[in-house]
Chain A
Amino acid sequence: MIKLTVNGKKISFKGAPFKRLIDALREDLALTGTKEGCGEGECGACTVLLDGEPVNSCLIPVCQADGRKIETVESLGVPEKLSKLQAGFLACGGAQCGICTPGMLMTAHAHVRSKGKCDDKSIRTALSGNLCRCTGYQDIVKSVLKAAKGGKK
């Protein structure tokens, strides 16, 4: 049996060990915040954090996450109380159609949390594996900057 910690909760996964992590999350755990845009590691819509690092959950078999920590968009805020990062996206226009947003948020979350440099260039580099067809990225970068700045106070 595969043991996972998903958004802080311990879970025993009884399905097929080579099921894609994205399918295990969406189908078995009903965590549909994680999206599929391509299924082949190109778009980043399926990004979740595995032991704190962004990964494409469409490329990872669930057995590879055995004994490890997974964070999905559902671990951030709730509509009534958005996280700082989510609030930044709302204020700066970081989400339009929203389909890239969960993946974008998870990558950005890891980047802001890493406490490394957080400027236009480093954010763009960090987010370069997450495609967005709506925003042209500028407002996403602004959103992350706003959240990062707010965080230091």
Chain B
Amino acid sequence: MSVGKNEPRRDGPAKLTGRALYLDDINIPGCWHGVTVRSTVPHGKIKSIAYDPSFPWDECVVVTAKDIPGKNLVTLIEADQPLLADGIVRHREEAIVLIAHPDRATAYEAAKRVKIEYEALPPVFDMEKSDKVFKSYLIERGDLDAGFAAADVVVEGEYRTPSQEQAYIENNAIAAYEEDGVLIVTGSLQCPYYVLKAMKAIFNRGEDKIRVIQTVTGGGFGGKEEYPSMLAGHAALLALKAGRPVKIAYDRHEDMAATTKRHPALVRHRTGLAKDGRLLAQDIEVVMDGGAYATLSGVVLSRGTLHAAGAYECPNVRVRSKVVMTHTPPNGAFRGFGAPQTLFAVELHWERIADALKIDSLTLRQRNIFKLGSTTATGQILVESVGAEECLQKTVKHSKYVSKRKEYDRWNKNKRNKTWKGIGLAVCHHGAGFTGSGEVYLASRAGVALTKDGELIVLAASTEIGQGTNTMFAQVAADALGVPASWFTVETPDTHKVPDSGPTVASRTCMVVGGLVSRATHDLRRAFEAEFGRVPKTAADLKKAAAALCKGAPARRFEVQYEKPPEVTWDDATYRGDAYGVYSYAAIAVDLEIDKLTCEVRLVKVTTAQDIGKAINPLLAEGQIIGGSTQGLGWALLEEPLFKDGVMINNQLTNYVIPTSLDTPSFQVLLVEKPYTRGPFGAKGVGELPMDIPGPAVAAAVKHATGRMIPTLPQTPERISQALK
């Protein structure tokens, strides 16, 4: 058995020796450098575009919207985002003109020689003042009025969360070129088939004439989910016009200013409870800032909405949510995908409720937390794999939460101490896979191939972006077949080689696509048994079996498609039913200390228990948990994109600060494995869950330490000292 073992990561040796080739490492002969001329106003009409006559333009290739052969559109969900602004710009840094030149520095110089004049139009930056709603949702359960009427107390609170930059260390980078009539697009990306779909509309080409290939990718975290479709379009327009390869590799400033970020959010809670702490009514309102185009905002909001009531059973619930347009660069996918925003509110709200009821927030959580058989706000009954209570209990025990609360209360009373200490808690659920009927629409495919020489290859479009996809797939396939994991390789995501497994997002790679790989491998296993008598046991055996199965063909493919589990029902119109096939669960305790003079926060320890069904590779799963939690801690304490006139002004790693090795505490990770019958070997999602709740746990710990609730992030020394005034 390989599943459950810490197989070393497949891509490790190449990455550790500098041999892994990221896009900018690849020597593409004759490749020119592409650069982008972007809007300098947040909203306006383009009056004129002028090219400085003293510059040698004949050395360059220049592209504007007029050069687009098909639709001027980045196809995603709504048809609203142009590939290049034409006539009107709706946010700062919107792409207008593209230039390619053999020399990178000259290309940048050329970009400076383009003068664009605008007629300014009024921008909207405040999401509460926007009247353009991209998408709204309503979830209702029970009778809200009756719930509030029966309540002994009603507690209200308002919570805000800022944007966040993914800050993958490899910036966005894509190259394009044409080879034998096929347009090849290659680079740093999460979702090859999203790029393919966008390219089809831009270039009026069929799938056979476009090929998207992922290169080794230096981090994504959602930031390379939709943006690469735009970048690919830009590189390909330049390449086709230049008749040669063109590469666009953003520098850090451009990447931070122009590409997608987490949606800022405002969440209001009104909660009715019985005196003993039982939830009776939750009325929740969510507003998110989508930026200038809809892009993924509707789905981000959907996930945020479906997680807004938290991992608790409440008989009467209403969640109203909307995502609106502002004149800022579009916000997009970022690990957690709307859930961290709403979970911040519902989790921190427990601290307010605790004050109102004089019952501590741990007891309140225990009283209401999801159990087997609980019903969610959408009416979903949780029939299996519910590890919420166990996560909470393990986290409390291993963090010594209860005794530390008391110990720190005593410490904080002593005026002579130079610090305050606090420990805070949070719990959450996270739906694995696409929301509602999303997986049905995706209809993903994946498979395995057996070549006549006995190579076993996993075929999936899911990308390795550091999470360990390739290693995990090989382990799943190996155990499904009953052979060593080393027998399997994993094909590079290349749209001419692998089927459309859907995007690498939504914590779906292991549970959904891994499940498909496992099913396809079972088909292969049956073929071995039927045509060879058994599954081969040795390498020589495998060669013989391969010859028998391939019957002279170069290879045999076994592909399967997603099938909706019959027990899952969902209604998109009413937002009722099984929002997700299953949920993962997590609890976290953050232990910290605050300097009374400087208000600086030092993280002492983080303890977290996470129910992911089954850890296919515990080392990789823990890597996801520690890494994801660290991004959550960054959001909680350090990270805040600052906007002025609709553009990020701290678009550098110098002033957009992410955690370093010294900012990061020691982690204790406890895996909880409540298997899900439909996940491969019981596995559920792990990718996003860890990002969800470090924020509220930090805020709760700061409140414990200082006595002040700061209902927003990040909890910087400035904010803490302000709150203490």
Spell out A's residues near B (CB within 8 Å): 26, 30-40, 42-43, 45, 72-74, 76-80, 82, 86, 89-93, 95-102, 105, 120, 123-125, 127-141
Contacts and interface: CB of A to CB of B under 8 A. Distances in A.
A34 B170 CA distance: 12
A112 to B, nearest CB: 15
B15 A95 contact: yes
Contacts of B466: 96-98, 134
Interface stretch (B415-423, B445-453, B528-536, B653-661): B653-661
22 contacts: A30-B27, A32-B25, A33-B17, A40-B653, A42-B652, A42-B653, A43-B653, A86-B16, A93-B9, A95-B15, A97-B15, A97-B169, A97-B170, A97-B219, A102-B18, A127-B660, A128-B660, A132-B169, A133-B631, A134-B627, A136-B659, A139-B623
Interface string B5-48: 00011011111111111101101000000000000000000000
Contacts of B483: none
B629 interface: yes
Contacts of A42: 652-654
Contacts, number: 171
A33 B18 contact: yes
Given A90-B13, A97-B466, A33 B19 contact: yes
Contact of A79 (B13, B27, B623, B661): B13
Contacts of B27: 30
Interface string B194-222: 00000000000000000000001111110
A80 B167 CA distance: 32
Majority SS at the chain B contact face: loop
Contacts of B627: 96, 133-136
B333 to A, nearest CB: 15
Given A31-B18, A95-B15, A133-B219, 18 more contacts: A35-B170, A38-B652, A40-B653, A79-B13, A86-B13, A86-B17, A96-B466, A98-B20, A100-B169, A102-B18, A125-B662, A128-B661, A131-B653, A133-B631, A138-B626, A138-B667, A139-B619, A139-B622
Contacts of B661: 123-125, 127-128, 130, 132, 137, 140-141
Nearest to A78: B17
B712 interface: no
Contacts of B622: 93, 139
Contacts of B619: 92-93, 139
Interface of B: 8-9, 11-22, 24-25, 27, 166-171, 216-221, 251-252, 465-468, 619-620, 622-623, 626-631, 652-654, 658-662, 664, 666-667
Nearest to B618: A93
Nearest to B622: A93
A137 to B, nearest CB: 4
A99 B17 contact: no
A142 to B, nearest CB: 10
Ranked 8 nearest A-B pairs via Cβ? A33-B18, A97-B466, A99-B218, A98-B15, A136-B630, A96-B466, A32-B25, A79-B13
Given A37-B171, A45-B169, A100-B169, A95 B16 contact: yes
A30 B9 CA distance: 26
A15 B662 CA distance: 39
A95 B9 contact: yes
A18 B667 CA distance: 44
A133 B623 CA distance: 11
Best-surrounded residue of B18, B622, B626, B664 (most CB of chain A within 10 A) = B18
B662 A34 contact: no
